[in-house]
Amino acid sequence: MAFEDTLFARYPDQVRETLKYRFLNAIPHNDTLGITFVDAEPGSATLRLPYRDALVGNPDNGVIHGGVITSLIDSVSGLAVFCSLPDFETIATLDLRIDYMKPARPGRDLFARADCYKRTRQIAFVRALAYQDSPENPVASSVSSFMRGASRHTTIFRKDKAS
């Protein structure tokens, strides 16, 4: 879905800078896991998660826990929704389904890319892939939906930042 009316399309440099420096730092758990921003476009986003021993789910083989991939995919999917929106808005994950294709190889970075493929007045729909070498060979794939305007609280983005 082409999103032409996005905040991102209107202020690409400001939004990208904000995402790079403010978005992830303002989310303590992403910092806990070590998730970093890679890139974003209107309606899509990519994040990176370097391998760390603290993220291991199976101590016998060093494979990263599925829960870490859940956090990475939830974050990148929410970010893709944010990048599809016409203005500042809070969003909340409604549901998230992840299929695990193969274990993530220990010692290697993990990436996740999400695409918001449909946005309605109240809901946004997202597909995402987690991968190491290439998105054609995914570790996990996911579909999720997000509620728009989930809260009246302000987000970490203030309107005056981009205008």
Residues making contact with other proteins (CB under 8 A): 26-30, 32, 53-60, 64-68, 70-75, 78, 92-100, 103, 151, 153-156
Q: Contact 137/131 with Cβ under 8 angstroms?
A: yes
Looking at the Cβ atoms of 66 and 86, the one nearer to other proteins is 66
Q: Which residues contact 135 (CB under 8 A, 6 or more apart)?
A: 111, 113, 129
Task: Say what the alpha-carbon torsion angle 43, 25, 12, 114 is, to the nearest 10 degrees.
Answer: -20
Report in angstroms how near the CB of residue 135 gets to other proteins at its nearest. Answer: 19
Report in angstroms how near the CB of residue 2 gets to other proteins at its nearest. Answer: 27
Q: Contact 63/104 with Cβ under 8 angstroms?
A: yes
Report in angstroms how near the CB of residue 99 gets to other proteins at its nearest. Answer: 5
- Left if phi > 0, otherwise alpha if psi is -120 to 50, otherwise beta: which for 62? left
Looking at the Cβ atoms of 10 and 148, the one nearer to other proteins is 148
Looking at the Cβ atoms of 9 and 98, the one nearer to other proteins is 98
Q: Contact 91/81 with Cβ under 8 angstroms?
A: yes
Report in angstroms how near the CB of residue 58 gets to other proteins at its nearest. Answer: 5
Looking at the Cβ atoms of 22 and 118, the one nearer to other proteins is 22
Looking at the Cβ atoms of 1 and 92, the one nearer to other proteins is 92
Q: Measured between alpha carbons, how far apart are the two ends of the chain, in Å?
A: 25
Report in angstroms how near the CB of residue 4 gets to other proteins at its nearest. Answer: 28
